[in-house]
Amino acid sequence: MTENEIKKNWKNLITPFIVYIALFIIALGLNRFGSKKPTPQTVSLFASVFCLTFIFFYGVKIINFKKFLNESNNN
């Protein structure tokens, strides 16, 4: 892998990870400080679960990519 490909892969992994973290924080804020009616609470709950799922998904991809880079550097 070239240096540019590694940078591109990191950018493609880190950008959605940061976006989903920001969306998760917003969803938690809306759940905590927003309307106390059932519909907005449900929507913010689903948004939180959705964001947590993708945070976990991209976190695993980041960890696997770091392992791949470490293994390729050792060989």
pLDDT for position 67: 96
Contact 36, 16 (CB under 8 A): no
- What dihedral angle (degrees, nearest 10) is formed by the CA atoms of 52, 55, 59, 65? 140
pLDDT for position 61: 97
pLDDT for position 35: 85
pLDDT for position 2: 86
pLDDT for position 62: 97
Residue ranges of the chain with per-residue pLDDT less than 50? none
Q: What is the pTM of this model?
A: 0.86
Structurally, the chain folds into a number of domains equal to: 1
The residue range of the domain holding 59 is: 3-74
pLDDT for position 1: 79
